[in-house]
Amino acid sequence: MKKIIILGAGTAGTIMANKLRKSLDTQNWQITIIDNDKRHLYQPGFLFIPFGSYKEKDVVKPKEAFIPKGVNHIFDEIEQVFPDENKVQLKKNGSLVYDYLVIASGTRLAPEETPGLLGKLWLKDIFEFYTLEGSLALHEKFKNWQGGHLVMSIVDMPFKCPVAPIEFICLADAYFTKRGMRDKVKISLVTPLVGAFTKPIATAMLGEMLASKNIEVIPDFYIEHIDNENKKLVSYDEKEVSFDILTIVPLNKGAEFVEKSQLGDELGFIPVNKQTLQSEKYKNMFVIGDAANIPASKAGSVAHFAADTLIENMVSILNGGEAVAQFDGHSNCFIETGFGKAALIDFNYSTEPLTGVYPFPVVGPMGLLKQTRLNHLGKLFFRWIYWNILLPGRHLPVTSHMSMVGKRKPV
């Protein structure tokens, strides 16, 4: 019996476990998935927790509930991969050998990489909302806050869900408006980018939207350190931004075992062929989701769309064929803009977000780069889709490859 090991039981790993289980004969293939955390966390929901829209129970379920029958699951810490020996070393369960390896270990926050970030203000006046614990702590802070300068900052690219900081400040604008204290809160987005987003058309639209909400964008700001005594962000070129509450996206890095195994780049993300998702060095190794060093967003939609390509390639290779299916970097994201509305972007490696409708021509019904109530409802409904369709690897009525249908190219 040949063995497939999946490292990571988050979004990408769970989807692949379900797709492989459906595609392979269990008499000939043994599938094992390994992760150290028994909780499956709906990470898009963390965004809503600081503002009281979601609670912990809305974003946490047991991982075992989504691992299919016939797939072995081991809850243990991954210490190292020995790719030349086809072996994975675990902390408690010794070593396991594999014939094929799928790495879906995601990203981790590395606040220790920024001087001063883990200082005396951490989780008192400095927060992140990319973990459950961070978002819950920020919720407690906001409940009794009386106002001041709220700064949303980004240490560096890449990071999980690039639109989340924009969503956060839009939701903050709505939250403090509804509390009748928006005039007491100054909101700023401090970013290393040249604008609100990475692509020109979306940046223009989002920049105008933020300006209309009286939200300041401070671009080209690379954080060198956090001054805890004076409550300031300090850049490498000695610019300063003061804050009363700092919400930050710390540096994102790959899993620690990736670095220890010398599989990743300088940030611990693993180089792969961006079309096939197969390692160019180890032909029996595949990488999916945030763990991969591909020029696509680190977002759940990328993992979902990439999984359709990867399962096709893996089944072909396991049956003696070649990796012929190609992933185009397809990503789409709802962007909460506050007051019950959201925008939607849909793009890939080569095409930036455009205006139009999605997923069907003319009828949409979702508007691209347009703030609508329906987009907001789509964002909320996605939580049900995530638990019931996405993780179990079921089919969604949208194309895995980005389509130009319904999109309008600028003149």
pLDDT at site 397:
84
Helix H segments across 323-407? 373-385
Cα dihedral 168, 170, 172, 174 in deg (nearest 10):
-150
User: In this predicted model, what pLDDT tens digit does every residue of 371-381 receive, in sequence order?
Assistant: 999 999 999 99
Please state the rounded mean pLDDT for residues 347-354: 96
Residue closest to 120 by CA, chosen among 237, 251, 246, 234: 246
Mean pLDDT of the chain: 96
Interval 267-317: pLDDT, tens: 999 999 999 999 989 999 999 999 999 999 999 999 999 999 999 999 999
pTM of the model: 0.96
203: which 2 tokens? 């940046």
Work out whether the CA dihedral 210, 213, 219, 225 comes out positive or negative: negative
pLDDT of residue 411 exceeding 80, the answer is no
Domains in the chain, please, with CATH?
Answer: 2-109+253-318 (3.50.50.60), 111-251 (3.50.50.60), 331-408 (no CATH)
CA angle, 169 as apex, 164 and 173 as ends, to 5°?
A: 145
- DSSP H or E segment with residue 235: strand 232-235
Number of Cβ atoms within 10 Å of the Cβ of 129: 26
Q: How far apart are CA 107 and CA 87, in angstroms?
A: 22
Do 43 and 160 touch, CB atoms closer than 8 A?
A: yes
Task: For residue 209, give the 3-state DSSP assignment.
Answer: helix
Q: What is the pLDDT of residues 20-46, one digit of tens each?
A: 999 999 889 999 999 999 999 999 999
276-285 pLDDT, tens digit per residue, is 999 989 999 9
